Amino acid sequence: MTIYQKLSKIQQEFKSKKSRYNSFGKYYFRSAEDILEATKPFLKELDVTVTIQEDLISFEPPVLKVTATVADGKDSLNAVAIVGVDLDQKGMQMPQRYGAASSYGKKYALGNLFLIDDTQDADATNTHGNKQTITQAAISTAQLLKAKEYVKSGGKLDAIKSKYKLTKEQEKELATLWKTKKKY
């Protein structure tokens, strides 16, 4: 099994409960810890590891680059999240501000790697009482690359279309890959 096939299996079968509660917004959400816990059954089954690396890429303002990687000893794939540190966050000490940014970055780097659609989480869609229309997120370049690998390894185009807003060109390209997936 290639690393792409292993990642595709995780992406297709991944299930993570939302064990955290936001009392202000009154909703449950999943954390980076929840996501990591949900990947553990796949680690032994597929003989892979999942790691997270954080780098401070800017000091003024402070910005973290968080990279989530899945590896099988031969090959690896990764996804990145870039997050800023809110230095004006009231009620937090400086280490807590960096910790909050770190946790947020880990969650979204893992979400990008495993194609977890954060728009389904209340913490991504909570309007805190302001009525807004929630629209489907456009697919990022990194997510599109992962979607292509997902389709090549047998994943369903409809699963991607249900999570992301695709341009006609992107949808056509993915459909072509899906039709020719047996060639890979």
pLDDT digits (tens, 9 = 90+) for 125-172: 444 444 443 445 677 777 788 888 877 777 777 777 777 778 888 888
Number of H-type helices and E-type strands within the chain: 7, 5
Q: Is the dihedral of CA 129, 137, 15, 39 positive or negative?
A: negative
31 vs 6 pLDDT, higher one: 6
25 vs 112 pLDDT, higher one: 112
81 vs 159 pLDDT, higher one: 81
pLDDT-above-90 percentage for the chain: 43
pLDDT-above-70 percentage for the chain: 87
Q: How confident is the model at residue 118 (pLDDT cuts 50, 70, 90)?
A: low
Residues 106, 32 contacting (CB under 8 angstroms): yes
